[in-house]
Amino acid sequence: MGAVAEAIRRKLEIALNPQRLEIVDDSDKHHGHSGHREGGESHFTVSVVSEAFAGLNRVQRQRRINEVLAEELSGPVHALSLKASAPGE
């Protein structure tokens, strides 16, 4: 796991205390597209299950993650696909 993916993992674990967290670097699928960088770590898919999402709608969950990852989203991460759910969903 690269430095950007590790930063994403660390920040989400601290902020959301997830029961499940999966981070996939999809950068190789975007070779030749906008935002792609050699070495990857520009496009990610993140799946997270956390009690912190209970009672929140999809947009609120995504905003919460975007706030936590604001530094990465303003720099090295070009695209972030999110799957956020509460336990049991």
pLDDT digits (tens, 9 = 90+) for 11-20: 999 999 999 9
Structure tokens at 61: 């969950």
Domains, the chain? 3-85 (3.30.300.90)
First to last CA, the chain: 28
pLDDT of residue 52: 98
Structure tokens at 43: 């496009």
pLDDT of residue 41: 78
Tell which wins on pLDDT, 43 or 29.
43
Give the β-pairing of 43-49 and 79-85.
Answer: parallel
pLDDT of residue 42: 87
Q: What is the pTM of this model?
A: 0.87
Q: Is 34 helix (H, G, I), strand (E, B) or coil?
A: coil
